[in-house]
Amino acid sequence: MASSQGLSKKIAEFSVGLTLHQIPARVVANAKLAILDCLGVSVLATQHELAKKIFRLAEQDLWHGPCQVWGSNISASARDAAFANGTLAHALDYDDGGHVTTFILAAATAVAEREQASGAQLLTAFIAGREVRMSMDAPFSNRFEGSGPGARGWHANGILGPVAAACAASKLMKMNLIPTLNAIGLAAGSCGALGRDGGTMAKPLRAGQAAASGVTAALLAGDGATGDTGALEGAHGLFSALSPLDETLLENLGQALGREFDWEKKAVKVKKYPAAAATHAPVEAMLRLLARRPLALSEVQCIECNLKPYPLLRVSPQSGDEGRFSMAYCLAVALACGRLTADDFSQERARDEKITALLGKVRHHDDAKSLTVTLTNGEKLSEPILPVSDLHGWDEVVEKFIHCTRDKLNEPQRSRVIEMIAQLEKLSSVCSLTEALRPS
What would the DSSP string read from start to end of 286-300?
HHHHHHHS---GGGE
In a domain, 15, yes or no: yes
* Claim to verify: residue 154 and residue 45 sit in the same structural domain: yes
* Claim to verify: residue 81 and residue 113 sit in the same structural domain: yes
* Claim to verify: residue 288 and residue 250 sit in the same structural domain: no
* Claim to verify: residue 322 and residue 233 sit in the same structural domain: no
Amino acid at 67: C
CB atoms within 10 A of CB 395: 9
Report how far residue 422's alpha carbon sits from residue 399's, in angstroms, rounded to the nearest whole number.
Answer: 14
Helices then strands, each counted (H, E), the chain: 20, 6
Task: Report which of 105, 103, 111 is spatially closest to residue 78, judged by C-alpha positions.
Answer: 111
Report pLDDT for 2: 35
Look at the alpha carbons of 333, 337, 340, 342 in this order and tell me if their dihedral is positive or negative: negative
pTM exceeds 0.75, yes or no: yes
Residues 328/144/269/136 CA torsion (nearest 10 deg): 150
* Claim to verify: residue 67 and residue 193 sit in the same structural domain: yes
Give the three-state DSSP class for 179: helix
pLDDT digits (tens, 9 = 90+) for 40-56: 999 999 999 999 999 99
Q: Is residue 115 a contact partner of residue 241, using CB atoms and an 8 Å limit?
A: no
* DSSP H stretches of helix in 48-118: 49-60, 78-90, 100-114
In a domain, 389, yes or no: no
Q: Is residue 257 a contact partner of residue 11, using CB atoms and an 8 Å limit?
A: yes
* DSSP H stretches of helix in 266-368: 280-292, 320-323, 327-337, 347-350, 353-359
Checking if the pLDDT of 81 tops 90, the result is yes
Q: 7-17 and 177-188 are packed helices; what angle lies between their axes, rounded to 10 degrees?
A: 130
pLDDT digits (tens, 9 = 90+) for 21-30: 999 999 999 9
* DSSP H stretches of helix in 136-279: 156-172, 177-188, 202-222, 238-241, 247-252, 262-265
Report pLDDT for 144: 75
Report pLDDT for 5: 55
Report how far residue 321's alpha carbon sits from residue 329's, in angstroms, rounded to the nearest whole number.
Answer: 11
The CATH number given to whatever domain includes residue 344 is 3.30.1330.120
Checking if the pLDDT of 261 tops 50, the result is yes
Report pLDDT for 121: 98
* Claim to verify: residue 155 and residue 84 sit in the same structural domain: yes
Cis peptide before 24 (omega within 30 of 0): no
* Claim to verify: residue 174 and residue 76 sit in the same structural domain: yes
Find the mean pLDDT for residues 323-345: 97
Checking if the pLDDT of 243 tops 80, the result is no
**Domain that residue 50 falls in:** 2-271+394-435
Report pLDDT for 250: 84
Report pLDDT for 4: 47
In a domain, 440, yes or no: no
pLDDT digits (tens, 9 = 90+) for 156-213: 999 999 999 999 999 999 999 999 999 999 999 999 888 888 999 999 999 999 999 9
Report pLDDT for 1: 33
Report how far residue 269's alpha carbon sits from residue 95's, in angstroms, rounded to the nearest whole number.
Answer: 9
The CATH number given to whatever domain includes residue 414 is 1.10.4100.10
Q: Which of 341, 357, 384 is the last residue of a domain?
A: 384
* Claim to verify: residue 41 and residue 98 sit in the same structural domain: yes
pLDDT digits (tens, 9 = 90+) for 140-160: 988 777 788 888 889 999 999
* Claim to verify: residue 152 and residue 42 sit in the same structural domain: yes
In a domain, 162, yes or no: yes
In a domain, 166, yes or no: yes
* Claim to verify: residue 135 and residue 265 sit in the same structural domain: yes
Q: Is residue 149 a contact partner of residue 241, using CB atoms and an 8 Å limit?
A: no
Checking if the pLDDT of 15 tops 90, the result is yes
Report how far residue 80's alpha carbon sits from residue 411's, in angstroms, rounded to the nearest whole number.
Answer: 28
Report how far residue 49's alpha carbon sits from residue 27's, in angstroms, rounded to the nearest whole number.
Answer: 34
What percentage of the chain has pLDDT greater than the value 90?
Answer: 87
* Claim to verify: residue 151 and residue 285 sit in the same structural domain: no
Give the three-state DSSP class for 222: helix
In a domain, 319, yes or no: yes
Report pLDDT for 3: 41
In a domain, 45, yes or no: yes
Q: 78-90 and 202-222 are packed helices; what angle lies between their axes, rounded to 10 degrees?
A: 150
Report pLDDT for 315: 86
pLDDT digits (tens, 9 = 90+) for 282-305: 999 999 999 999 999 999 999 999
CB atoms within 10 A of CB 73: 9
Q: Is residue 207 a contact partner of residue 189, using CB atoms and an 8 Å limit?
A: no
What percentage of the chain has pLDDT greater than the value 70?
Answer: 99
Q: How many domains does the chain have?
A: 2
In a domain, 161, yes or no: yes
* Claim to verify: residue 22 and residue 117 sit in the same structural domain: yes
